[in-house]
Amino acid sequence: MPKVVTKDLIEKFTLELISGEEGVNRPITTSDISRPALEIAGYFDYYPAERLQLLGKTELSFFEKLNKDDRKIRMERLCTDITPGIIVTREMDVPVELIEAAEQESVPVMKSNMKTTRLSSRITNFLESKLAPTTAVHGVLVDIYGVGVLITGKSGVGKSETALELVKRGHRLVADDCVEIRQEDHDTLVGNPPELIEHLLEIRGLGIINVMTLFGAGAVRNYKRISLVIHLELWDQYKQYDRLGLDEEKMKIIDTELTKLTIPVRPGRNLAVIIEVAAMNFRLKRMGMNAAQQFTEKLSDVIEYGEHEEM
């Protein structure tokens, strides 16, 4: 099934459908929008017919200066069997030639009272969000001090229980068990919960609880940009864990690399507090304050000073 069809735009932006009703279920495959000024002037060599077409004051004022035959030909070439729709902006009158050509090819012709540039910007943002690459990850997403933290780990390691403790400490749950992730930009991942399990947490031995009902609307979020991944794993005494925090491990989701921290789980460790501090430390690093780096530099200075003293 296509992610977006022309009908979605009509409903989202309250567009008036003028003609071409048979084509309202045409798929929109790109977020790029075309303003066919050159095409109306007669140059169709590089006409992007698969894009949504916007006709504003500039295009239509030029169109009115054309003779009758040219008007008919230009609009017939503008309406193809793959064009998802043509929108006339600024509440301007829709040319008769456009209506006739659109009816022949079942191209939806719509009308909007918004300015062309503003409508173009809003539609582009909407389409980029809807057409963004998506995936799903098994884990929990929590907003901690403004940092979107994705908690991963094997089933039963304590992800949901940790999320519950974080919610009790005033942080906000985004998704539990399954996180739907979309890449809105080359380095921006946004996570949200599947509609079926929105605001829900599954705690073994307790069952499913509704976080919003128990803790209020301030304890949940519908979506959040993911900045940090924390992987929980059972303590392995033979594994060497990072004790300074100088080496940053990365995890790739779709095309974006995220900082990943591996936290060993064992009795007596307060995971919620550790993850909370990890989020705060991540924020500090982004602000240019790296405690591990500062410690290493001080240590190097002490060693270097000691060597000079011995000499």
Over range 131-152, report the average pLDDT. 95
Query: How far is Cα of residue 257 from the mean position of the Cα atoms in its chain?
Result: 15
Query: What are the distances in angstroms from CA 78 to CA 91, 92, 234?
Result: 20, 18, 62
Q: Residue 133 above 80 pLDDT? A: yes
> Cβ(191)–Cβ(115) under 8 Å?
no
Q: How far apart are CA 84 and CA 25, in angstroms?
A: 8
State yes or no: is 224 an active-site residue.
no
| Catalytic residue status for 159 | yes
Residue 156 has pLDDT above 80, yes or no: yes
83 exposure class (CB count in 10 Å sphere: 0-12, 13-18, 19+): buried
Q: Is the pLDDT of residue 122 over 80?
A: yes
Label residue 187 by pLDDT band (50, 70, 90): confident
Give pLDDT, residue 225. Answer: 96
* pLDDT averaged over every residue in the chain: 90
Smallest Cα–Cα separation from 20: which of 73, 116, 75, 86?
86
Active site residue 177: yes
Residues facing 128 on adjacent strands: none
Which residues contribute to the annotated binding site for ATP? 153-160
Percent of the residues in the chain that have a pLDDT greater than 90, as a whole number: 75
DSSP codes of every residue in 10-45: HHHTTPEEEE-GGGTT-B---S-EE--HHHHTT--T
Both tokens of residue 72?
A: 């008919």
Active-site residue identified among 26, 51, 111, 159 = 159
Predicted confidence at residue 6, as pLDDT, reads 96
List domains and CATH numbers for the chain: 6-131 (3.40.1390.20), 134-295 (3.40.50.300)
pLDDT digits (tens, 9 = 90+) for 197-207: 999 999 988 99
Q: CA-based angle 24:181:200, to the nearest 5?
A: 100
Residue 231: pLDDT over 70 = yes
Q: Which residue has the higher pLDDT, 246 or 281?
A: 281
Question: Are 2 and 130 contacting, i.e. CB atoms less than 8 angstroms apart?
Answer: no
Q: Is the dihedral of CA 257, 263, 265, 267 positive or negative?
A: negative
- Indicate which residue of 57, 115, 138, 168 is catalytic: 138
In whole angstroms, how large is the CA radius of gyration of the chain? 28
Contact between residue 52 and residue 4 where contact means Cβ atoms under 8 Å apart: no
Stretch among 107-111, 126-130, 176-180, 236-240 having the lowest mean pLDDT: 236-240
Options 72, 77, 177, 260, the catalytic residue: 177
Q: List the 224-225 sheet strands across, edge first.
A: 134-138, 178-185, 188-192, 224-225
- CA dist 19 and 284 (Å) reads 56
Question: Predicted confidence band at 292 (pLDDT cuts at 50, 70, 90)?
Answer: low
pLDDT (0 to 100) of residue 39: 96
Choose the catalytic residue: 65, 68, 239, 243: 243
Report, as an integer, the average pLDDT of 286-292.
74
Assign 77 to helix, strand or coil.
helix
Does the pLDDT at position 305 exceed 60?
yes
- Whether pLDDT at 71 is above 80: yes
* Residue 311: pLDDT band with limits 50, 70, 90: low
Provide mean pLDDT across the span 186-195. Answer: 92
Q: Give the residue from 105, 56, 118, 115 showing the smallest Cα distance to 78.
A: 105
Three-class DSSP category at 283: helix
pLDDT at 42 over 60: yes
Binding site residue list for Mg(2+): 160, 202
Entry pTM? 0.75
Residue list for the binding site = 153-160, 202
Is 138 known to be catalytic?
yes
